[in-house]
Chains A and B, each alone.
Chain A
């Protein structure tokens, strides 16, 4: 940091020299700073021909007022999400229960959650008892250390000496839930997901299993790695923030890392992931190997901020997400041709508004009849 402060001082002296010249004392000072900070290097700015017009142009390349607006939105959103800090953030998206038959001749269907139904989030306890978490009176049935809040379930004491007891939380279509595990790891569960986890973690590692989609902020614990296992891919947290995504109906499972470092592995190999990268496996292959690519994680984790973020996303993919979120069935016209769409849309708008927005920039038209959406060519 010290050299940087000196760099800033040099910049001020350079500015003064260019405008007014320097006093002998200042000259000496500048020379001393340069020896200290960048010995032997030229400073082209001292002799370059400068034009105020070019400078103006250089600093008008961005719309500062717009950027300030972006900043306000971003900081507001962070506040809402709270100050949850963690060693790792993982978003795991796994095959849910939706089905799509685009390959079949005839009508293809996407099944989704029902908009008006009350979606029950349920918890299966270690003794097999199933309770409804939307009923806060079911409190007493929970395992010791578990607390039920209006929108989330938390586990507090983390004892390592007991025999492991497992709970399973089931999120239906059209719902969303928060969970805090006994080690402090936070989990956001998306619609149509299931998480199987111990009430308290064991001594050696912290392992959970997921179907569907979830975002993890893993609490730091260097002695016990955190492992998320899915059917096709496992993610081991090595002290990072990451995001995993595995959609079975796409024939693909993937995980994306937002911060830090994770190891992804399956029976055919293992890879390390760096931030901004995603690992995916093609589950239709006989020996699915892990492929690593770079990606924009903010798009993949948009659901956590209540946003659909599409970037040149196929309409089929978009409709799958919509069906999960709104619990509706979408029926595609037989001769449907794939189209691609980009846009950011809030989760919290009515289905008709959302479909209207997509209609406006694609060549398809939607008819909503109860819980079924028919898609036709315009």
Chain B
């Protein structure tokens, strides 16, 4: 832990991710994900910590790429949460069906897609200036330019301007991600 280079996750292709940034960036997301199974913040924290400890112990060339790293975290957390639910089942009077439903692959995938998309949107939008954020908020709520202008009390031209500037900022912050969509598509 003293050697700086030893604090990186090394992927199979040799690229490195500093463990600290992987941890700090992802913790809120994985914590919220665990919250889809449990509503015990302390247990959620503990399980997410455990997942990171597992990744830490496998940080040297165990993971193929970033998605497999995230996938490992999600799967590990899901399994631990379901184990926990099975333990507390009797005490908390949960039915077997409830636990079984959360143990299913469908629930895992639904939750994972939802959480991941939500978190990506959060990451993208939170860097915007307040005015752009407001425009994006209404855009995400499904409003048209005209409606946004009315609601914010500004002209449609100004809305268009903010929207364009928001898109520009978003493209910038999401570029690595969008590029990844493209490269991932090439694999298939």
Contact = CB atoms under 8 A, between A and B. Distances in A.
Interface in A1-30: 1, 3-5, 7-16, 18-20, 26, 29
Interface stretch (B8-16, B21-29, B93-101, B147-155): B21-29
B88 A294 contact: yes
Contacts of A137: none
B109 A3 contact: yes
A71 B41 CA distance: 16
Contacts of B27: 62, 64, 67-68
Contact of B140 (A8, A49, A59): A49
Contacts of B115: 11
B65 to A, nearest CB: 9
- Give the residue among B117, B171, B178 with the most A Cβ atoms within 10 A: B117
A8 B23 contact: no
Interface string B34-46: 0100000100010
B172 interface: no
A53 to B, nearest CB: 8
Interface string B104-128: 0110111011111111111011101
B167 A74 contact: no
A129 interface: no
A11 B162 CA distance: 26
* Chain A contact residues: helix, strand, loop or mixed: helix
A71 B121 CA distance: 27
A169 B28 CA distance: 48
B161 interface: no
A4 B121 contact: no
Interface residues of A, number: 55
B87 A9 contact: no
B71 A5 contact: yes
A118 B58 CA distance: 42
A162 B113 CA distance: 60
A76 interface: yes
A49 B106 contact: no
Contact of B74 (A4, A18, A277): A4
A299 interface: no
A43 B114 contact: yes
Interface in A270-328: 274-277, 294
B109 A8 contact: no
A44 B115 CA distance: 11
- Give the residue among B29, B88, B185 with the most A Cβ atoms within 10 A: B185
A68 B20 contact: yes
Interface in A153-184: none
A104 interface: no
Contacts of B53: 71, 74-75, 78
A39 to B, nearest CB: 10
- Give the residue among A60, A67, A68 with the most B Cβ atoms within 10 A: A67
Nearest to B121: A15
A38 B174 contact: no
Nearest to B35: A61
A378 interface: no
A71 B122 contact: no
B145 interface: no
- Give the residue among B49, B74, B108, B181 with the most A Cβ atoms within 10 A: B181
Nearest to B119: A59
A67 B83 contact: no
A131 interface: no
Given A7-B112, A68-B23, A275-B83, A19 B170 contact: yes
A12 B71 contact: no
Nearest to A51: B137
Contacts of A360: none
Interface in A28-58: 29, 37-38, 41, 43-45, 47, 49-53, 55-56, 58
A201 B82 CA distance: 38
A62 B31 contact: yes
A79 interface: yes
17 contacts: A4-B108, A7-B109, A7-B113, A8-B70, A11-B116, A12-B177, A14-B113, A16-B174, A20-B170, A43-B113, A45-B113, A45-B114, A49-B140, A55-B121, A60-B28, A71-B49, A276-B84
The 5 closest A-B pairs by CB, nearest first: A11-B116, A55-B122, A59-B28, A4-B71, A15-B120
Interface of B: 1, 20, 23-24, 27-29, 31-32, 35, 41, 45, 48-49, 52-53, 56, 67-68, 70-71, 74-75, 83-84, 86-88, 91, 105-106, 108-110, 112-122, 124-126, 128, 133, 136-137, 140-142, 167, 170-171, 174, 177-178, 180-181, 184-185
Interface of A: 1, 3-5, 7-16, 18-20, 26, 29, 37-38, 41, 43-45, 47, 49-53, 55-56, 58-62, 64-65, 67-68, 70-72, 74-76, 78-79, 274-277, 294
